[in-house]
């Protein structure tokens, strides 16, 4: 059979002698990625996992010192990574970061739109200023990231080979959660922005896949904020009680780890996901299935 692009089951990839070839569809060699919010947490884990699978990775964050330290540590391990300061709400910063990626690595095949902020509190407690701020960071960054990446990924662009855009949403973008209305509304917007972009880019022949990932509560600083929010709105007396309450809401019976999300990102970035676009992937221990 002729092997073209995308994922081909290993059982179907055989040599003339009938032996299965040594093919890894998750191999990201010769691919270039840009990851936002990469100084800590999920973003930092994504940078490491993508690089360990062979990608060249531009880590970006507004936290320059932390981001550079993280990248320096990975470079000491022989990984091909670099850092560039990026305020994801700045169109000018996006232009500079994409140009820096092209200059450093010669292309752009993968964008991980990970950067975001969390604002808790009940709907009645939230101020208009808070709601506007969380929407600005969490939604405008997705727009600017997709636009900046698509300009160079599409045919005729500076990279011009198509690619994969992965937008980080949240389980709060799929289901209702107490104390998460402002944050959840932004993540719901990310979900639908993803689907519209996926259909548009596909129909226009850009060769760009766009998918969203919806983490449950992950053991990060943002996850800790969710515990405190449960305390603040009166659903738990302590953060430890809040953590147990959230674990109790998760069928798999534990919190997620940053590696759980990074491994999903690797899959969606790879040719193994070559026929997947406009889809949403919950990595939430089953919380959203109830």
CA distance to 60, 133, 143, 156, 247, per residue, from 36 (Å): 5, 18, 13, 25, 28
98/84 Cα distance (integer angstroms): 9
Task: Give phi and psi for 211, each to the nearest 5.
Answer: -135, 160
82/63 Cα distance (integer angstroms): 14
134 in Cβ contact with 126 (< 8 Å): no
92-125: b (≥16 Cβ within 10 Å) or e: ebbeebbebbbebbebbbbbbbbbbebbbbeeee
Catalytic residue among 118, 183, 193, 206: 183
193 is catalytic: no
What are all long-range contacts of 174-180, with beta carbons under 8 Å and residues at least 24 apart?
174/214, 174/280, 174/282, 174/288, 175/287, 175/288, 178/122, 178/230, 178/233, 178/235, 179/120, 179/121, 179/122, 179/226, 179/229, 179/230, 179/232, 179/233, 179/235, 180/120, 180/226, 180/229
Question: Which residues are known catalytic residues?
Answer: 183
């Amino acid at each position: 059979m002729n092997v073209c692009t995308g994922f081909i089951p290993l059982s179907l990839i055989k040599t003339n002698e009938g032996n299965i070839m040594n093919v890894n569809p998750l191999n990201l060699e010769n691919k270039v990625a840009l990851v936002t919010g990469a100084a800590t947490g999920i973003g930092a884990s994504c940078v490491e996992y993508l690089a360990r699978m062979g990608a060249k990775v531009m880590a970006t964050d507004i936290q320059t010192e932390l981001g550079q330290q993280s990248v320096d540590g990975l470079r000491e391990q022989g990984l091909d990574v670099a850092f560039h300061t990026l305020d994801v709400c700045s169109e000018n910063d996006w232009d500079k970061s994409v140009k820096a990626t092209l200059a450093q690595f010669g292309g752009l095949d993968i964008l991980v739109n990970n950067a975001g902020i969390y604002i808790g509190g009940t709907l009645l407690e939230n101020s208009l200023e808070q709601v506007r701020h969380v929407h600005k960071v969490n939604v405008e960054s997705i727009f600017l990231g997709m636009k900046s990446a698509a300009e160079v990924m599409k045919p005729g662009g500076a990279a011009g080979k198509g690619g994969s855009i992965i937008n980080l949403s949240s389980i709060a973008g799929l289901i209702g959660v107490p104390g998460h209305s402002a944050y959840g509304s932004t993540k719901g917007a990310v979900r639908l922005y993803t689907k519209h972009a996926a259909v548009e880019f596909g129909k226009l022949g850009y060769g760009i896949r766009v998918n969203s990932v919806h983490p449950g509560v992950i053991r990060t600083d943002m996850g800790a904020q969710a515990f405190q929010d449960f305390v603040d709105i009166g659903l738990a007396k302590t953060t430890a009680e809040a953590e147990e309450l959230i674990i109790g809401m998760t069928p798999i019976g534990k919190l997620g780890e940053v590696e759980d999300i990074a491994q999903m990102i690797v899959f969606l970035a790879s040719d193994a996901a070559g026929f997947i676009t406009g889809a949403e992937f919950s990595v939430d221990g089953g919380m959203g299935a109830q």
